[in-house]
């Protein structure tokens, strides 16, 4: 059996026994005594700190000497006391704040009306440019030909083609031919898509299809040999890799 030696706790002065191999390291009898020593004035965390009195609750607390150089540090022990003092005194609010620079005048880029804004939000995206959220939405979220993603009104035609009975029939024929099985991973049933091997958008652009009548007459658009059954995940990976 390993021998034990008696040690006097540096915090509470009680005698406790530890293994002889730990006699140089065991200075305290418990974690509670360690915590009391660390938070005391003689502790290593307090030796390099200075003593301060909270202006609100009058409690004693310690901070680093370097923190006293920062504006506002060393006056309050916590954010709670600081916020309570601000509510009572009214200091650092609005025009009473030493950092208050006043609002600056701007002209709305959409409706051309003058308005005022805080200078600290001017640098943010779309902030300080418009007088209201309504004007910002109308200016940023442009639709139709004014949108930078405009492709000449192709989407409504794509939607009409995909809602057409002939497209639904082509989709059903592709599923039936492939026995409702993904041609990439072999998944049966579930969420399946009919994928155009030659892209749907490529066919429309190549044949210059602009009306529903032209789409119905295009044989390549309805050729089942140009289609294959894919599950939802494989379809996403196939589309993103193109």
- Whether the CB-CB separation of 173 and 224 falls below 8 Å is answered with yes
**Residue 68 CB neighbour total at 10 angstroms:** 13
> Could you tell me the residue ranges of all domains in the chain?
4-39, 51-94, 104-141, 154-241
Helix/strand/coil (H/E/C) assignment for every residue in 166-200: HHHHHHHHHHHHCCCECCCCCCECCCEEEEECCCH
pTM given for the model: 0.39
Per-residue pLDDT, averaged over 25-42, amounts to: 80
The DSSP 8-state label assigned to residue 5 in this structure reads: E
Token output for 129 = 């440019």
Please state which of the ranges 19-28, 61-70, 185-194, 228-237 shows the lowest mean pLDDT: 61-70
Q: Which of 32, 69, 63, 34 is nearest to 48 (CA)?
A: 63
pLDDT value for 10: 82
138: pLDDT confidence band, cut at 50, 70 and 90? Answer: confident
pLDDT, mean of residues 68-96: 74
Q: Is the pLDDT score of 95 beyond 80?
A: no
Residue 49: name the closest of 36, 62, 40, 66 by CA. Answer: 62
Portion of the chain with pLDDT greater than 90, in percent: 18
């Amino acid at each position: 059996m390993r021998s034990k030696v008696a040690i006097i706790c540096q915090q509470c002065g009680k005698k406790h026994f530890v293994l002889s191999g730990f006699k140089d390291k065991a200075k305290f009898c418990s974690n509670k005594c360690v915590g009391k020593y660390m938070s005391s004035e003689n502790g290593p965390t307090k030796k390099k700190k200075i003593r301060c009195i909270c202006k609100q609750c009058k409690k004693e607390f310690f901070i680093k000497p370097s923190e006293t150089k920062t504006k506002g540090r060393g006056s309050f022990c916590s954010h709670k006391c600081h916020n309570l003092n601000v509510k009572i005194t009214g200091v650092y609010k609005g025009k009473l704040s030493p950092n208050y620079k006043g609002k600056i005048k701007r002209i709305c880029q959409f409706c051309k009306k003058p308005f005022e804004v805080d200078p600290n939000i001017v640098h943010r995206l779309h902030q300080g440019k418009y007088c209201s959220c309504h004007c910002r939405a109308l200016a940023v979220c442009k639709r139709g030909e004014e949108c930078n993603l405009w492709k000449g009104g192709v989407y409504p035609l794509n939607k009409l083609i995909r809602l057409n009975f002939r497209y639904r029939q082509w989709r059903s024929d592709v599923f039936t031919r492939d026995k409702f099985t993904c041609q990439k991973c072999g998944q049966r049933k579930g969420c399946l898509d009919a994928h155009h091997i030659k892209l749907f958008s490529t066919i429309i652009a190549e044949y210059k299809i602009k009306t529903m009548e032209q789409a119905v007459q295009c044989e390549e658009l309805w050729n089942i040999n140009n289609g294959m059954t894919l599950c939802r995940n494989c379809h996403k990976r196939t589309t993103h890799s193109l």
